[in-house]
Amino acid sequence: MLHQEPRQGKDPYVKDNYALIASDKVEGTSVYGADGRKIGSIQRILLEKRGGKVAYAVLSFGGFLGMGDDYYPLPWEKLNYDEQLDGYRIDLTKDQITGAPRYSSLDDESWYRERDRTIYDYYGVAPYWM
Protein backbone atom coordinates (compact mmCIF):
# COMPACT_ATOMS: atom_id res chain seq x y z
CA MET A 1 0.00 0.00 0.00
CA LEU A 2 1.36 3.38 -0.97
CA HIS A 3 1.59 6.19 1.52
CA GLN A 4 -1.37 8.48 1.12
CA GLU A 5 -1.93 11.89 2.57
CA PRO A 6 -4.75 11.95 5.14
CA ARG A 7 -8.10 13.12 3.88
CA GLN A 8 -9.02 16.65 4.76
CA GLY A 9 -10.29 16.85 8.34
CA LYS A 10 -8.74 13.50 9.35
CA ASP A 11 -6.02 13.33 11.99
CA PRO A 12 -2.93 11.60 10.50
CA TYR A 13 -1.80 10.27 13.89
CA VAL A 14 -2.74 6.89 15.28
CA LYS A 15 -5.24 7.11 18.10
CA ASP A 16 -5.25 5.03 21.26
CA ASN A 17 -8.00 2.53 21.85
CA TYR A 18 -8.78 -0.08 24.50
CA ALA A 19 -5.84 -2.29 23.44
CA LEU A 20 -3.33 0.07 21.80
CA ILE A 21 -1.29 3.03 22.96
CA ALA A 22 0.89 5.30 20.86
CA SER A 23 4.61 5.18 21.65
CA ASP A 24 4.75 8.89 22.44
CA LYS A 25 2.19 8.31 25.18
CA VAL A 26 4.17 5.45 26.73
CA GLU A 27 7.16 7.72 27.18
CA GLY A 28 6.71 9.61 30.41
CA THR A 29 4.18 7.17 31.85
CA SER A 30 4.68 6.44 35.55
CA VAL A 31 5.79 3.03 36.82
CA TYR A 32 4.65 1.77 40.23
CA GLY A 33 6.24 -0.99 42.29
CA ALA A 34 4.73 -3.99 44.02
CA ASP A 35 4.29 -1.82 47.11
CA GLY A 36 2.14 0.68 45.14
CA ARG A 37 4.72 3.46 45.29
CA LYS A 38 5.86 5.35 42.22
CA ILE A 39 9.32 4.27 41.11
CA GLY A 40 9.94 6.43 38.07
CA SER A 41 8.74 6.78 34.50
CA ILE A 42 9.27 5.23 31.10
CA GLN A 43 11.98 7.15 29.27
CA ARG A 44 11.63 5.25 25.99
CA ILE A 45 10.76 1.92 24.48
CA LEU A 46 13.08 -0.09 22.28
CA LEU A 47 11.70 -2.22 19.47
CA GLU A 48 13.29 -5.07 17.58
CA LYS A 49 13.91 -3.72 14.08
CA ARG A 50 12.88 -6.74 12.08
CA GLY A 51 10.24 -8.46 14.17
CA GLY A 52 8.68 -5.44 15.83
CA LYS A 53 8.74 -6.97 19.31
CA VAL A 54 9.25 -4.65 22.26
CA ALA A 55 12.67 -5.48 23.63
CA TYR A 56 12.73 -3.08 26.56
CA ALA A 57 10.97 -0.27 28.27
CA VAL A 58 13.64 1.98 29.75
CA LEU A 59 12.70 3.12 33.25
CA SER A 60 14.38 6.27 34.55
CA PHE A 61 14.74 7.43 38.13
CA GLY A 62 17.29 8.46 40.71
CA GLY A 63 18.19 11.96 39.66
CA PHE A 64 16.75 15.38 40.29
CA LEU A 65 14.56 17.07 37.67
CA GLY A 66 15.75 14.62 35.02
CA MET A 67 19.44 15.20 35.66
CA GLY A 68 21.57 12.39 36.99
CA ASP A 69 18.94 9.72 36.38
CA ASP A 70 19.91 6.10 36.00
CA TYR A 71 18.24 4.08 33.25
CA TYR A 72 16.95 0.57 33.82
CA PRO A 73 16.02 -1.53 30.80
CA LEU A 74 12.94 -3.57 31.77
CA PRO A 75 11.60 -6.48 29.76
CA TRP A 76 8.20 -5.37 28.47
CA GLU A 77 6.65 -8.53 29.92
CA LYS A 78 7.31 -7.25 33.45
CA LEU A 79 5.01 -4.25 33.00
CA ASN A 80 1.25 -4.40 33.46
CA TYR A 81 -0.90 -1.40 32.66
CA ASP A 82 -3.14 -0.27 35.55
CA GLU A 83 -6.03 1.90 34.39
CA GLN A 84 -6.74 3.23 37.87
CA LEU A 85 -3.18 4.50 38.23
CA ASP A 86 -2.93 5.49 34.57
CA GLY A 87 0.50 3.91 34.71
CA TYR A 88 2.37 0.62 34.69
CA ARG A 89 2.86 -1.75 37.61
CA ILE A 90 5.82 -4.04 38.09
CA ASP A 91 6.00 -6.91 40.57
CA LEU A 92 9.17 -5.55 42.19
CA THR A 93 9.92 -2.70 44.56
CA LYS A 94 12.21 0.24 43.87
CA ASP A 95 14.89 -1.36 46.05
CA GLN A 96 14.81 -4.53 43.95
CA ILE A 97 15.07 -2.58 40.71
CA THR A 98 17.98 -0.56 42.08
CA GLY A 99 20.00 -3.82 42.03
CA ALA A 100 19.14 -4.50 38.38
CA PRO A 101 21.40 -3.88 35.39
CA ARG A 102 21.41 -0.19 34.54
CA TYR A 103 23.31 2.49 32.73
CA SER A 104 23.82 6.17 33.41
CA SER A 105 23.66 7.63 29.91
CA LEU A 106 21.07 7.27 27.19
CA ASP A 107 23.96 7.46 24.73
CA ASP A 108 25.55 4.25 26.05
CA GLU A 109 24.51 1.56 23.57
CA SER A 110 27.02 -1.12 24.64
CA TRP A 111 24.63 -2.71 27.10
CA TYR A 112 22.16 -3.58 24.31
CA ARG A 113 24.50 -6.13 22.83
CA GLU A 114 26.70 -7.08 25.74
CA ARG A 115 24.18 -7.36 28.56
CA ASP A 116 20.92 -8.42 26.92
CA ARG A 117 20.96 -11.85 28.54
CA THR A 118 21.95 -10.43 31.95
CA ILE A 119 18.91 -8.15 31.93
CA TYR A 120 16.44 -10.91 31.13
CA ASP A 121 18.06 -13.29 33.61
CA TYR A 122 17.77 -10.69 36.38
CA TYR A 123 14.03 -10.32 35.81
CA GLY A 124 13.43 -14.04 35.23
CA VAL A 125 11.64 -13.81 31.87
CA ALA A 126 12.38 -15.28 28.47
CA PRO A 127 14.33 -12.91 26.20
CA TYR A 128 12.45 -11.17 23.40
CA TRP A 129 14.53 -13.00 20.76
CA MET A 130 13.36 -16.44 21.88
Quick check: is 3 in a domain?
A: no
pTM of this structure = 0.78
Q: What is the pLDDT of residue 129?
A: 82
Question: Which range of residues forms the domain containing residue 113?
Answer: 23-123
Quick check: is 8 in a domain?
A: no
* Residue numbers of the chain with a pLDDT score lower than 50: 1-4, 6-7
Quick check: is 2 in a domain?
A: no
Bridge partners, 46 (sequence order): 56
Quick check: is 33 in a domain?
A: yes
Quick check: is 110 in a domain?
A: yes
Spatial CB neighbours of 86, under 8 Å, sequence gap ≥ 6: 29, 30
Q: What is the pLDDT of residue 13?
A: 59
Q: What CATH number is associated with residue 64?
A: 2.30.30.240
Residue 97 backbone class (left: φ over 0; alpha: ψ -120 to 50; beta: rest)? alpha
Count of structural domains within the chain: 1
- pLDDT by residue (tens digit) across 52-71? 888 889 999 876 665 678 88
Quick check: is 80 in a domain?
A: yes
Q: What is the pLDDT of residue 22?
A: 77
